[in-house]
Chain A
């Protein structure tokens, strides 16, 4: 059998993951109305050809509900992960460049946030902000920036001492140009990969606190809502209400992870030989 080039495979997996996630997001947008349509003539149907994932106790199509729920989760994930990564970039750079006191304070905050279990802090923040979309996004953003901030702090500190940057300073190159020409190209891949690897965490945590009742409101077809509502019906043998949305949530999370990991390998200069 002819061996496929590792780099092509990596690009292929990355593209596949991105394509799937984009398709789910778009589908959720298109079907957002239909996910709420109830039809009592078709309630409690098992999975079949007409309704792939079955229907629930109000006769709503579970396939469409799963798609819209995932789409919602992905959009929240992107928003929360984006905010969280920008926060990490700012705080990490500040810690590395603004002197010992700022560094000590930011490092202390990082340790503090990392020391408290994510889910607990997330529930507290979300609850304090009145739950809903705002609570979830702010909660996830404020709890997920720490590890990326640490990485960026370390990178910037190392770069600052790099001989080629110190030489550039001696040659009169200005601070902005050093940041843009020397530091940014080095930090950007790390930042992007960090951003993508934050998505799966953000999505899972969004789903968990929504499931626990501290997240999105019940009218929104989020995966967490679908799962928590279906719990009541599991004992009645309607397993499909939880199985498919749960599986697809896991699948989405894994795909984000695959995308991030493959992107990291593509951008790492040492990976030419994979």
Chain B
């Protein structure tokens, strides 16, 4: 078994005003090299103005097996959405 270089997740802000978005991953020994590699790999065509790199191991993910209990309970709470409430048209946009 070969020793592995750690995996990093890369997030890029395409331009100011937008959030950082996950674009892919890469291998690097430390955070400085990860940042440089992210620049060299993922911004060759002017894709971004800011980069985040996060060790893949540092990400805690929800378990798809628990998706039902995690996400379905919100489905019927339609009173959280503006269309649940009836406002006469004369009132105008609200």
Please indicate whether A and B come from the same complex rather than being unrelated chains: no
Residues of A at the B interface (CB closer than 8 Å) are none
Residues of B at the A interface (CB closer than 8 Å) are none
